Structure 1
Amino acid sequence: MELSLSGNALKTFHRSVTSLARIGTDLVLRASPAELVLHTLNSSRSAYQSVAFKPDFLDSFRLLQAPSSSSYSPVVCSVLLKSVCSVLRTPATSVDRLSALLPSPDATKLQWTLQCHNGVKKTYWINCNAEPDIQNLSLDRRRFPSSFVVRPRDLTRLLSNFQSSLHEITIIATEPSAMPSDAGTEIGGKAVELRSYIDPAKDNSDSALHTQLWIDPADEFLQYTHVGNPVDVTFGVKELKAFLSFCEGCEVDIHLFLRKLASLS
């Protein structure tokens, strides 16, 4: 596998790696003729993030043909995210081009090269994990009863109502028409609730600050869909904020899908 990128593509790549580093410790690269995918999984296996780049996004991208084969097989390798972050420690504004090279599918090192504007060339070799923890998540969004589209800055503003030390948050989605009639003056069409989640097993759960925020989707979201019974999902705030920061930097809206799952494997 060999690739290179520069300009805005390099800035987006840098932003992607930074976001992934806030989720997990290992970076898995999947390269196929159709795309380059970066993904990671956190240590508790409760959060997974994936970023895919099409070949035309990169300046150059190709798979190296194995000597004993006439085809281009997909390439998968895993490296430590902190090592990649060390490579990208040089500001993107100072780099003219970034290149990466995996000489063969079973290579033990991934080469990174930075061509800087001042003429300096930096080359790094990062060890590939001998036994990478390869994960692939596939979900059918059509089976999710709730979804909404929101601007990153709007969701960040809503989250600012909660204490900064909060580890997990719960989102409860309902149909606006499903709200009790006697609650019309209090919450009206506010069909989405954000609620701080405090582990009841902890001794200080009673003294901790609990926050509940009701939201009218028509006021805060660009799009909102919900079908069926209420859905509540609890997840980590750290991972959500990492995703928010990435989307805000890329100037794209967030599309969240909610579904209550018994387990995730």
Structure 2
Amino acid sequence: MKCLVAGGNVKVLGKAVHSLSRVGDELYLEPLEDGLSLRTVNSSRSAYACFLFAPLFFQQYQAITPGQDPLRCKILMKSFLSVFRSPAVLEKTVERCCLSLNGRSSRLVVQLHCRYGVRKTHNLSFQDCESLQAVFDTTLCPHLLRAPARVLAEAILPFPPALAEVTLGIGADRRVILRSYQEEEADSSVRAMVTQMSLGEADFQKLQAQEGVAVTFCLKEFRGLLSFAESANLSLNIHFDGPGRPAIFAITDNLLDGHFVLATLSEPDPPPQALGPSAPRRSQSQPHSTPNLDDFASDDIDSYMIAMETPVGSSEGSLAPDLPRPHNPSPPSEEEEESEEDDAEPSTVPGTPPTKKFRSLFFGSILGPARSPQGPTPVLAEDSEGEG
């Protein structure tokens, strides 16, 4: 593979890499006939991102080198990101960028042709891998929002940088509500700050959603896509269903396509009828603490998301079922009653993040027949804030 990026497109490529770095730690690079594909997925399989750069994006594009087989490679995100560390500097100093894959040496060569004849060459080692491809259909999502990325970027400015999740929904008078997701504290005297932004229907190019629907998703990845779309002056399409179903964020241009698929928080309670200050809160029986993304509960949606990375028959992430407690027919003694009372107390320190249920985007393998599990498979994953 060999491709040449010239002019301002070098900065666009660098911005795309920065957006992908907010999602995963590894970059999957695959040259296709339709263009160069850059993909990544986070460790918990709850966020997937892809950019496809059309051949017209490049000054020169050659997907397959004559006499060689097509290459698919996986590179550490930090290594590739170091080449495009500062997009502003790239725009001022870099005139051309040449990307070439050498299967014999297992090297991705990135050459930056700068002003005054300066040439910087980066040799990045990679691993051969299967193609990482998520299969999704935006037509299956009944709700669609389309707006300039600049409008949405300004709407999330008031939210704290450390905020993990944001809730997007349709309120009264068909106003689009963006609200920070916060659970109630155990102490009613403690009031957490809740930030809410309201956008009118006139701010959107298309609003196809019913009142009362709302989904909660990670804000970190959403910021990354908005930053890229705003710099490219593109509109963002948001396709979503109900809580627990993946939300699809898409940007489209003549030279590139971008898709971010994010898991949404699965609400055990019925969704509120309307968003606003008087909207009902979460059930008091649930844990109360600051939201965090430490635990993901998996759901069987292999029919929705497919990829070709995980080997067939892999049991990674599965846990043995809990064994039932033996029944003690005799009445407990006083010491046993005290022990049971101690066990009944919460074993977590106050402020421990609750167990939240996200729909993980499972990635199976198409190298063999798909095997669907009999029930949900628990998956433990790290906080997506710690990624990248």
Kindly report which structure 2 residues correspond to 1:60-71, keeping only aligned pairs within 5 A, or say none: 60-62=60-62, 63-66=64-67
Q: Secondary structure at the match of 2:161?
A: coil
More helix by share: 1
| Among 145, 153, 173, the residue aligned to 2:142 | 145
Matched, 1:24 2:8: no
Gaps of 5+ in 1: 68-72, 175-186
Q: Distance in 1 between matches of 2:37 and 2:58?
A: 12
| Among 87, 97, 111, the residue aligned to 2:83 | 87
Q: Distance in 2 between matches of 1:53 and 1:65?
A: 21
1:9 partner letter: N
Aligned to 2:74: 78
Aligned to 1:182: none
| Among 192, 200, 206, the residue aligned to 1:208 | 192
1:98 partner letter: C
Aligned to 1:129: 127
- Once the two structures are TM-superposed, the CA of residue 107 in structure 1 deviates from its matched residue by 4.8
Aligned to 1:180: none
Deviations 1:154-190 (A, max 9, x none): 112221343333110111237xxxxxxxxxxxx4x13
Matched, 1:157 2:169: no
TM-score when normalising by structure 1: 0.81
| Among 168, 172, 175, the residue aligned to 1:171 | 168
State which drifts further: 38-47 or 110-119. Answer: 38-47
Deviations 1:85-105 (A, max 9, x none): 22224722211211111123x
Q: Secondary structure at the match of 1:19?
A: helix
Q: Distance in 2 between matches of 1:125 and 1:153?
A: 36
Let me know the Cα RMSD of the aligned residues: 2.7
More strand by share: 1
Q: Distance in 1 between matches of 2:101 and 2:57?
A: 19
Q: Distance in 2 between matches of 1:140 and 1:205?
A: 45
2:122 partner letter: Y
Q: How many residues align?
A: 243
Aligned to 1:120: 118
Matched, 1:247 2:229: yes
- Once the two structures are TM-superposed, the CA of residue 38 in structure 1 deviates from its matched residue by 0.8
Q: Is the 8 A contact 2:153 2:230 kept in 1?
A: no
Q: Which has the larger radius of gyration?
A: 2
1:94 partner letter: T
Q: Distance in 1 between matches of 2:163 and 2:13?
A: 29
Aligned to 1:8: 8
Q: Is the 8 A contact 1:190 1:215 kept in 2?
A: no
Check 1:202–1:10 CA distance in 2 against 1; reply closer, same or farther (3 A cut).
Answer: farther
Gaps of 5+ in 2: 246-298, 300-358, 363-388
Aligned residues: percent identity? 29
Check 1:133–1:22 CA distance in 2 against 1; reply closer, same or farther (3 A cut).
Answer: farther
Q: Is the 8 A contact 2:151 2:203 kept in 1?
A: yes
Q: Secondary structure at the match of 2:98?
A: strand
